[in-house]
Amino acid sequence: MNSKSSSLTSSANSKPDARIRRLVEKVLPEVIEVRHALHRRPELAGEEVGTASLIREKLRGVRGLDVRKPYLKTDVVALLAGKNPGANVTLRADIDALPMQEETGLPYASEIPGRMHGCGHDGHAAILLGAAKVLAELTDCFDGSVRFVFQPGEECGAMARFLVAAGALDSPKPDAVYALHAHSTVPVGTVKTKSGVLMAAIDTFRITLTGRSSIRSEPEKAADPLVAAADLVTRMQGLIASKVSPLDSAILVFKSLKAENPVGDVLCCAEIEGTLRYLREETGEVLRTAVRRQLKAVMTASGVGGKVKFETPYRISRNDPACVELLRRITVETWGERMFQFMEQPSMGSEDFCYFLERAPGAFFNLGIGENRAYCHNAAFDFNDEALPYGITLMVKLALETLAAKKRRSGTAASPL
């Protein structure tokens, strides 16, 4: 660890803090090495074969760690048991990369053209690996278990829904869930989050319009789906202003408008794709209903046929207030008040960690990697190694203190570190 690591635990209260700090310092060189290795060989959603293999290799032989068989193809799930039965805390990291060309010039830059870890998932995975290794040295200090989920396909596939459906959280069922994400607008190690609604849901939509083709000299015999599609896009563009309260939030984005002409001069088919984002389920339903009504109106006016298909790959993410308060307390007691910030309002971004939060109370939070760094999904982005020990410490303490609190509520004294 470099000289900045001395500030990792500034709280003077504790022998437990000192023990955790020593263990974090011990694993940090390997964690950095793994982070750089993952960064060199980024893999897209559902293709994280090498990533999962490296993580399994690093977890193999860790004392007391039960590494499960994959529930999907490229996930890694491991369970660590404490000294007695008890509650379960689940910690999650996403591991997939982005289809982008890296432009950092780093010595460990991506070696795969058109692929890069542009959202910090290499850092997330490295942090969770470090937390697993530290907690494996602390099994005498807690009852219950900690599950570590290295999840594929967050970026493009929302694969958390499939992982949860496959039973990754079933045995044992979690009592609390936690995850973090790199954030480049706050100082290194700063935690930023909020209680309640944290991030938006995303609906994808695909509208298909079918018409009657004709030669251009006889347009009266045609029903042109391209003209109808243009009309529909114009109508839908005003839906947010007309259907959503200015005190609410929603976003409509068109992804594409495609038309094809296999026979005849007048197009016979057009397709519109886009997304809706919203922070309230009621708002989502209002917008879906409005889209259907606008489609029906265009069909009536133009004579084309049409249908719309909605999917919701990302649901609304909600943080549990008690879990956020625990996170705040741990952060403040470890590094001071300045290291925790409450978000003033929810983000219109989305996360498939929502599927974990539907299974148990928990918290998703941003971890600062520095104020003057490239933002996520930028070709110049890189996770900051200086943030790694902060992330490991937070995950370790969240697991230990959540399990201790569950034990106290069950009527027995918490196990000291």
pLDDT at position 218 over 70: no
Q: Which of 117-121, 204-208, 237-241, 407-411 has the lowest mean pLDDT?
A: 407-411
Most confident of the ranges 89-103, 201-215, 217-231: 89-103
pLDDT at position 9 over 50: no
Coil/strand/helix, residue 324: helix
Instruction: Count how many domains the chain has.
Output: 2
CATH classification at residue 171: 3.40.630.10
Give per-residue pLDDT as tens, 275-334: 999 999 999 999 999 999 999 999 999 999 999 999 999 999 999 999 999 999 999 999
Kindly give, in sequence order, each residue whose CB lies less than 8 Å from that of residue 107, ignoring residues fewer than 6 positions away: none
**CA atoms within a 13 Å half-sphere pointing along the CA-CB vector of 211:** 30
Check whether residue 229 and residue 294 sit in a common domain: yes
Check whether residue 67 and residue 210 sit in a common domain: no
Check whether residue 9 and residue 20 sit in a common domain: yes
Check whether residue 135 and residue 225 sit in a common domain: no
The overall average pLDDT reported for the chain is: 93
Check whether residue 297 and residue 344 sit in a common domain: no
CATH classification at residue 250: 3.30.70.360
Check whether residue 17 and residue 137 sit in a common domain: yes
Check whether residue 328 and residue 258 sit in a common domain: no
- Mean pLDDT within 57-85: 97
Check whether residue 144 and residue 207 sit in a common domain: no
What strand order describes the sheet that includes 76-81? Answer: 65-67, 76-81, 145-151, 88-94, 176-183, 362-368, 191-193, 340-342
Check whether residue 385 and residue 338 sit in a common domain: yes
| pLDDT at residue 314, rounded to an integer | 97
pLDDT at position 414 over 80: no
- Mean pLDDT within 175-193: 97
Listed residues 314, 346, 362: the one ending a domain: 314
Check whether residue 237 and residue 327 sit in a common domain: no
Range of the domain at 183: 3-197+317-409
414 domain residue, yes or no:
no
